[in-house]
Structure 1
Amino acid sequence: MESWGEIEGKRVHDPSLNLFRHHPSDHYCKPMKAATVCKAGRCVWVPGPVIVGAGPSGLAVAACLKEKGVPSVVLERSHCIASLWQLKTYDRLHLHLPKKYCELPLMAFPSHFPKYPTKEQFVAYLEAYASRFDVRPVFGHTVVSAEYDERIRLWRVRTSWGADQEDGVEYVSRWLVAATGENAEAVVPDIDGMGDFNGTIMHTSLYKSGHMFEGKKVLVVGCGNSGMEVCLDLSNHNARPCIVARDSVHILPREMLGFSTFGLSMWLLKWLPMRTVDSFLLLASRLMLGDTARFGLRRPHLGPLELKSLYGKTPVLDVGTLAKIKSGDIKVRPAIKRLTGHGAEFVDGRLEDFDAIVLATGYKSNVPSWLKEREFFSEKDGLPRKPFPNGWKGKQGLFAVGLTRRGLMGASVDARRIAYDIEQCWKAEAKQPSTL
């Protein structure tokens, strides 16, 4: 098995040599000519799983596997781990949940980190995590397709890399783990008149700080956690933000009764039905925040936990934005009817000028763009068809981590299950007699 060549400093199987693999139905290792297995000019045989994505989810799976003695290869299209956090988030971002709910398996946050770490602290934690478990992703390799080959019963994962993105390598493995996350690609809505607007339009993936918008009037489209935080940041930098609240939204205080709202909810769910907990959260929120509908922020008919469970819609945890809305420093606007050269027309007939527009319209999975499989993953949203906690395992060695709308806690649960499942196959195959 250790017949490897070197290409650009990476271990690559020599196509002139035999390639060996195990399969649970085999009673011995079957040698196959590499030319039979590899279609690309350069081919890598991976004894363990191929993990696509070096964000928190991919690192968690690789670490859990390493702890069990199972090797893996992590492919990452960017030049760094956690590229979303490092390259596509705004400066003021903190973890929305307390750090104890955001830890990856096998390693806690440093004790001196605050309750809600900054993005820089979270990235430092991830880098220390990768170093501790010796996870070394293959950077700059974009997965263009991954397909299960029934003939050889292995996954073919084809990548492109380099400046021209034309050269590529094919990775061949028994297992494939999709870890590209729910936030792989920015969602940019098609708003009528978008091409007519003369000012700046940017997605939050490009927004860093409100400093560049000082003194300007900015329309933020989207009232989720990101939209609310961007508005707060703009206001703190002396901009004049307005936020579009097209849909209803639950706004909850980040903490209640001295506890994090999330942690309190998890504790109450151990003893009470979800709807009872929802009723408590809404009552406490009404007492602490007032009636948000008075400011144009209608609440959904379903409670926050039920809405999250059924549709994956996360409630907003307020970090100060609502006070700015109440004071009038941040204005709330209804849905946009169309954009104009200098601003926007809203569905209530109001016309208003803006210097810039920030699209806080979220992200989506990119799995359907590269994975040639439609039974386990939904082609519509790129997420597993089975809800949490059953969305981690497909067929023929296919797995998903961090794609069931349960955040870092869900990703950690997925990672542990995937590592255990692969370990069982790994150990079973190691016990099989070999005739080679």
Structure 2
Amino acid sequence: MPHQDEPTTSVVRETHHVEALIIGSGLSGIGAAVTLRNAGVRDLAVIEKADDLGGTWRDNTYPGCACDVPSALYSYSFAPNPEWTRAFAGQPEIRAYLRDTAARYGITPLIRFGTEAIRAQWDPGAARWRVETNRDHYTARFLIAAAGPWHEPRLPDIPGLADFPGEVFHSSRWRHDHDLTGARVAVIGTGASAVQFVPAIQPRVGRLHLFQRTAQWVLPKPDHYVPHAERRLLRRFPAAQRALRNAEYGALETLGLGFRHPSLLRAVQKLGSLHLRATVKDPRLRRALTPDYTLGCKRLLLSNSYYPALTRPNVSVHATAVEAVRGSRVVGADGSGADVDTIILGTGFHILDMPIAGRVLDSDGASLDDHWKGSPDAYLGTTVSGFPNAFVLLGPHLGTGHSSAYMVLEAQLDYLAGAVRHFRAAGWTSMDVRPEVQAAFSAEVRQALSTTVYNTGGCSSYYLDVNGRNSFSWPWSTGRMRRRLAEFDPEAYTATSENSNRLL
């Protein structure tokens, strides 16, 4: 303890006042910052808990990490990139693209790295959000939650896992310092990440045990190297790049029609079956890898190397969930097991139970989690009643099983820009979506989802929340999404006026 005559020191936290505060610097946060600046908001800040931007493309560095959406479509429409070297870009290129875009549009200097949002609460008296971080405090007229759903890893609750004597890590927290050469590896989970990293690590591990709770539909991936001549063409003629983007968009929207009318997916499902049959000759292994649900019910996966990797002599597929870990042995629910020295978790993310939802509070101190009670809900996937002046990006109801996250995001950003422009022009101090408007939209979505493959395909997926409700998916085309969010609808909101501070 200090001597009584010595001055004591305490941490003095500065308070920053901004018009807009964005939480997260992944593709959503960067896009929101560009959009808000274009809408005339000059006084904004982006807080990022990590030491670099990029979101999921910063965190996921596992071997083989790449996008499963065509490159020309996986980018901002306002920042086309003619330099993609593959038809489906890899993680390093996507991360570099996000860095370059943030720098080109002057966003990087606005990002406060190493700053984590601890608590954000609406102050109705000041009509501002008060945000506490691990460093400073902020007040903001607008709060934009851009933390994203593919961010926080989901760790399975497996008895004995914590006592495993070897190495355990999630695919999004890859241990590059851990040499897998000759290792005995158990992979738990067979989702989008595992489909990419399993073929990448299979040649160098000694033994690989894949524990598969549910078989996945895996289609061939039309990936290829983009020659220099093609990139030169796209660089010289921007119209050619727009045409490529539009062609890829049209192809994916055609696939999306089948997601809304599952009977149309028979031909695509047949392709998946043929792909499996052509690459897996062992009938027993092929049966284990054959899904028992309609294609599209779970996230659609693309790979040319996943099935071949599973046929290699050093790979064993355990078509079972993991029941427990007992010492160095991973034990399946069917009684099978494997002695291993490394466990890699390909168990996905907190998609519908995003941690940020527990940190954003209404004026009474109730969080988004408290309001949602396990079933996330938002008007147009963007605004939540009881949380004025707040916007959730890549929020509930907006996920698609076929298109690019950038398509969803840019529809929301158009809505955000329209809201901010109207807010300023009308002299508002706050805007809160009417609860009956939000409820009507949610009922409309639920009704439309009832006939889609997401709800009728016969599987359990991350589209479903803890209450068994599909809180993730958009049941219509992305064209309809763009039209629906193209114009801000002030009649859907209760607002207070700057001049009279009264409800409008």
SS in 1 for 2:330: strand
Answer with 190-199 or 283-292: which moved more.
283-292
Deviation at 1:335, TM superposition (A): 1.3
Report the counterpart of residue 390 of structure 2 in structure 1.
398
CA change 1:186–1:383 in 2 (3 A) is farther
Report the counterpart of residue 279 of structure 1 in structure 2.
266
- In 2, the alpha carbon distance for the partners of 1:66 and 1:262 equals 27
Deviation at 1:133, TM superposition (A): 1.5
- In 1, the alpha carbon distance for the partners of 2:61 and 2:315 equals 21
Alignment of 1:348 onto 2:334: yes
Report the counterpart of residue 247 of structure 1 in structure 2.
214
Answer with 107-116 or 175-184: which moved more.
107-116
SS in 1 for 2:120: strand
The TM-score normalised by the length of structure 2 is 0.67
Deviation at 1:271, TM superposition (A): 8.8
Aligned counterpart in structure 1 of residue 410 of structure 2, from 412, 426, 429: 412
CA change 1:100–1:184 in 2 (3 A) is same
Aligned counterpart in structure 1 of residue 29 of structure 2, from 43, 48, 58: 58
The one-letter amino acid paired with 1:192 is P
- In 2, the alpha carbon distance for the partners of 1:386 and 1:400 equals 8
- In 1, the alpha carbon distance for the partners of 2:155 and 2:83 equals 39
SS in 2 for 1:74: strand
Alignment of 1:231 onto 2:223: no
- Listed as ranges, the gaps of 5+ residues in structure 1 are 1-39, 162-168, 308-312
The one-letter amino acid paired with 1:95 is C
The one-letter amino acid paired with 1:219 is A
Alignment of 1:78 onto 2:53: no
Contact 2:24 2:55 in 1 (8 A): no
The one-letter amino acid paired with 1:288 is H
Contact 2:121 2:131 in 1 (8 A): yes
Alignment of 1:368 onto 2:357: yes
CA change 1:131–1:195 in 2 (3 A) is closer
The one-letter amino acid paired with 1:115 is A
Contact 2:146 2:392 in 1 (8 A): yes
Correspondence 1:182-201 to 2 at 5 A: 182-201=149-168
Correspondence 1:147-166 to 2 at 5 A: 147-161=121-135
Structure with the largest fraction of strand: 1
- In 1, the alpha carbon distance for the partners of 2:73 and 2:370 equals 28
1:158-207 deviation line (CA, Å, top 9, x unaligned) = 1112xxxxxxx221122111000112322111211223422211111222
SS in 2 for 1:303: coil
SS in 2 for 1:205: helix
- In 2, the alpha carbon distance for the partners of 1:277 and 1:415 equals 32
Contact 2:159 2:323 in 1 (8 A): yes
Deviation at 1:105, TM superposition (A): 4.0
Correspondence 1:292-371 to 2 at 5 A: 294-304=286-296, 307=297, 313-333=298-318, 334-364=320-350, 365-371=354-360
Structure with the largest fraction of helix: 2
1:260-312 deviation line (CA, Å, top 9, x unaligned) = 999634224459953133222101211232298735234242431xx2xxxxx
- In 1, the alpha carbon distance for the partners of 2:199 and 2:370 equals 35
CA change 1:383–1:237 in 2 (3 A) is farther
CA change 1:112–1:149 in 2 (3 A) is closer
The TM-score normalised by the length of structure 1 is 0.77
The one-letter amino acid paired with 2:261 is M
The one-letter amino acid paired with 2:343 is I
Contact 2:323 2:332 in 1 (8 A): yes
Aligned counterpart in structure 2 of residue 427 of structure 1, from 416, 425, 428: 425
SS in 1 for 2:131: strand
- In 1, the alpha carbon distance for the partners of 2:45 and 2:190 equals 38
- In 2, the alpha carbon distance for the partners of 1:150 and 1:191 equals 44
- In 2, the alpha carbon distance for the partners of 1:108 and 1:73 equals 25
Correspondence 1:139-218 to 2 at 5 A: 139-161=113-135, 169-207=136-174, 212-218=179-185
1:352-389 deviation line (CA, Å, top 9, x unaligned) = 211211011112121123111468667779884148xx
Counting matched residue pairs gives: 376
Report the counterpart of residue 97 of structure 1 in structure 2.
69
Contact 1:210 1:239 in 2 (8 A): no
Deviation at 1:392, TM superposition (A): 1.3
Contact 1:378 1:385 in 2 (8 A): no
- In 1, the alpha carbon distance for the partners of 2:374 and 2:98 equals 25
- In 1, the alpha carbon distance for the partners of 2:139 and 2:293 equals 49
Contact 1:64 1:419 in 2 (8 A): yes
CA change 1:208–1:262 in 2 (3 A) is farther
SS in 1 for 2:210: strand
Identity %: 22
SS in 2 for 1:218: strand
The one-letter amino acid paired with 2:79 is M
- Superposition CA RMSD, Å: 3.2
CA change 1:368–1:270 in 2 (3 A) is closer
- Listed as ranges, the gaps of 5+ residues in structure 2 are 1-11, 224-243, 429-496, 500-504
The one-letter amino acid paired with 2:94 is F
Answer with 367-376 or 145-154: which moved more.
367-376
